[in-house]
Amino acid sequence: MDRFVIEGGFPLHGEVTPSGNKNETLPLLAASLLTDERIVLRNVPRIRDVRTMLGLLAGLGVDIKELGAHEVALQARRIVRTDLDPTLCGEIRASILLAGPMLACCGRVELPPPGGDVIGRRRVDTHLSALGALGAEIEMDGGYKMRTAGLRGQDIFLDEASVTGTENAVMAACRAQGTTIIRNAACEPHVQNLCHFLNTLGARIEGIGTNELTIHGVERLSGGEWEITSDFIEVGSFIGLAAVTGSELLIKKAVPEHLRMTRLMLGRLGVHVEVQGENIFVPGHQHLQVVPDAGGAIPKIDDGIWPAFPTDLMSIAVVVATQSAGTVLIHEKMYEGRLYFVDKLISMGARIILCDPYRAVVVGPAQLHGAPLESPDIRAGIALLIAALCAQGQSVIGNIGQIDRGYERIEEKLQSLGAHIERVRG
């Protein structure tokens, strides 16, 4: 199994361009099932989760052609099966995104349990409720067998603002008869871009960017092209990396409008960034200092649904907090397993009290030291990599396939900035 060997304690310098947004790419790939015409996607990140989704689509009969390093064409002329590969589904949470499109194009799907990060319970009830309301009959027996005699528009109130639940409902509703209203919809940038993309194919979706979407069903969608935006989670990761290593970085094509809450929350830890058009500049050698709340109260970093601070950046915030002078409360509201990786930071010298599965108190700054580490999931993995680059001495990170699921050629990007990191294979 591959591992990273890292010599920490060296500042970085230079320019870096983030890859395309993983969480935008995966639903766009699933949406290729909604038309039998050609779809071309550009700025596709070459990461493990994307390869898995392409494998699932190829197994269903979708014709896939690589047009370039980050460009792919898909055409679902003929779907040859409606049962999904259980091994591939077990590797990726986003396999569930195929449910809505398969119901719309084929009227049935057999979906094994989706996999993905083990960060606590990840319910699928919102998906089942929304697709059931649109006319799907669902049988659960170690997986999900769904069929429909025809999807019909409905007024749906989601029991939570689930990103993938919203995306599944939107894709199914695009091809349903009549009008669907989705209330309490998620409105993250990747949800918005899925809706904009579908509209370029002939869908009729209104209310994009709000928590109430109106979808007027259409009989068919056409082909089209789309360029995937930069991954704002990767941008946030690079901001955190620059801050804790005292590095000066220019992050290009950063889409700053997606980073307002990220800048605000990391600002509570003393991180300063400058917006330069579409780029983000992180000055070097910042003195990180926790900014207390009014009256000197201990501040809190917490996550939530868009436009709140993204849960996928909570692990990064924990590492930044270990290097910021002062005390801060980290409150992870969404996943009860997200913070369990802090024991690895504690082994490196971090001063963290894990109060319960959702809350941790971090006291900084702490000198981190290199250590043997394991990557438990995508976001904890990149957080540990950042901690290792900030630490004194050598760290070895195992199970880096988890990091590869969400970050493309991360060691090459870091090496170009001067990081002492090597991928050791086998």
Provide block-wise average pLDDT over 10 residues at a time, the chain (426 residues).
94 97 97 98 96 97 95 96 93 93 96 66 83 95 92 97 96 98 98 98 98 97 98 98 98 97 97 98 97 96 96 97 98 90 97 96 98 93 98 97 93 98 92
The per-residue pLDDT for 120 is 44
CA dist 97 and 86 (Å) reads: 14
CA dist 206 and 170 (Å) reads: 11
Which tens digit of pLDDT belongs to each residue from 383-399?
A: 999 999 999 999 999 99
Same domain, 167 and 247: no
**How far is Cα of residue 203 from the mean position of the Cα atoms in its chain?**
25
The per-residue pLDDT for 293 is 96
Secondary element (H or E) of residue 382: helix 378-390
Same domain, 163 and 263: no
- Domain-terminating residue out of 176, 209, 227: 227
Note down the domain range covering 371: 3-19+231-424
Which residue in 2, 63, 117, 159 is the catalytic one? 117
Phi/psi for 238 (5° steps) reads: -70, -35
Would you give the end-to-end CA distance of the chain in angstroms?
Answer: 5
Same domain, 111 and 211: yes
CA dist 214 and 208 (Å) reads: 9
The three-class DSSP label of residue 217 is coil
Same domain, 211 and 263: no
What residues contact 311, with CB distance under 8 A and at least 6 apart? 303, 304, 332, 333, 334, 335, 338
| Contact criterion met (CB below 8 Å) for 184 and 227 | no
Helix intervals (H) in 134-231: 163-174, 189-200
Helix intervals (H) in 115-231: 125-133, 163-174, 189-200
Could you tell me the pTM of the whole model? 0.94
Same domain, 202 and 272: no
- Domain-terminating residue out of 182, 199, 227: 227
| Whether 2 is catalytic | no
Of 118, 117, 99, the residue nearest 109 (C-alpha) = 99
Of 408, 42, 23, the residue nearest 228 (C-alpha) = 42
Token code pair at residue 23: 């969480």
Same domain, 206 and 247: no
The per-residue pLDDT for 46 is 95
**Domain count of the fold of the chain:** 2
Secondary element (H or E) of residue 111: strand 108-111
